[in-house]
Amino acid sequence: MNPTATFLSLIIAAYEASQPAEKQVQVVSLIVHLYKKILAAGKKELPPIPEKTTKRRGKLAKSDAHNLWERLEKYESVLLFAKHPHVPFTNNRAERAIYA
């Protein structure tokens, strides 16, 4: 199972499920369950964080994949559009307003 492809499929399914109002509660709860399951599978594939070799202060450098995984795990706002139909799927509208 490729977590990246599965995750993208889940996000697209969540978008499609957010459109009709019928059975939304069951579909959203299933999507949230699958989201957490995919994150758990993705955690197993993360590269290990290297040991601290020097006595320098500060946080250990993590890979981009690890940082993305932590962000996706921490913020459930990724699926907010599925729970609340008034939330747009993308933020393109906000970006256009900033750059216009």
79-95 pLDDT, tens per residue? 887 777 777 777 777 67
Q: Is residue 82 part of a domain?
A: yes
Q: Is residue 13 part of a domain?
A: yes
Tokens found for residue 20 = 């009709």
pTM listed for this prediction: 0.62
With a pLDDT cut of 70, the percent of the chain lying above it is 87
Residue-number span of the structural domain to which 43 is assigned: 3-48+61-99
Q: Is residue 55 part of a domain?
A: no
pLDDT at 17 over 80: no
Report d(CA 66, CA 12) in Å as an integer. 23
How many structural domains comprise the chain?
Answer: 1
Residue 21: its pLDDT value, please? 60
Q: Is residue 35 part of a domain?
A: yes
